[in-house]
Amino acid sequence: IPKMSRRLLVLMQNKPFSFLSPSSQPTGNKRFALELLTQKNCAVPGHSAILDDPKDERGLLCAGRLDADSTGLMLWTNDAGLMQRIIGPHVEKEYLVRVTGHEKWGPAQLEEAVRWLQHGIELDDKPLRPAKARWLNDAQLQVMLTEGRHRQIRRMCEVIGVQVRALKRVRIGDVRLGALPVGYWRTVHSIMLPSRNEQTHSRSSPKRLGASPNNHDEAQIIRRVVIEPHGNGTA
């Protein structure tokens, strides 16, 4: 009897406030976001019949954790290699950040704060990778990162003198949260990721943002991973 290949799963979830990511220490009555990966919470009618409760899938990994007091897009996969590619430095993550403490700032100070967020901050005595940031309105920032240190955006905001009121992740790579309801999940059918070779190369010789890549165009190292419904993904 031929051995069936293990199906590759990639799921997207809209994590609610106060729910915990894996490896978090449970406190009080807080629950883990994994518990919400059930057929009941599938956002696509009829689609959940394809899967049992994903929370019971062996080896399901969170590809990009969120703090309990942060909300928004989380990705899950049962492939450790794919998880590493998703959380790697070539995949941009986008956040909406509602802040306070800047209400009396003038235009120059607001712009200076953005410049610091983009490329002027160190955490734990180590410089951050360059980021993208801008004011969306008088109370909300858009921040895009290619790394994910512990509570990074909240700590970045502390450095520039503002406090985070709400933090929501809305995009990982080309996967967008969109209109997915809070607490619900659905499958991801494809995702743009760096090739395996590039991921390996980046660990041995990291590229400076904006530097010209060697021997090939930067766009060529990005591949679309297609998630097959009953088998392995292809990249």
Half-sphere exposure of 201 (CA within 13 A, CB side): 13
Residues 6 or more apart whose CB falls under 8 angstroms from that of 88 comprise 194, 199, 202
DSSP string, 119-184: H--EETTEEPPP-EEEESSSSEEEEEES---TTHHHHHHHHHT-EEEEEEEEEETTEE-TTPPTT-
Active site residue 69: no
Is residue 175 within 8 A of residue 12, CB to CB? The reply is yes
Residue of 52, 53, 56, 67 marked active site: 67
Identify which of 52, 55, 92, 49 has the alpha carbon closest to the alpha carbon of residue 73. 92
Residues with active-site annotation: 67
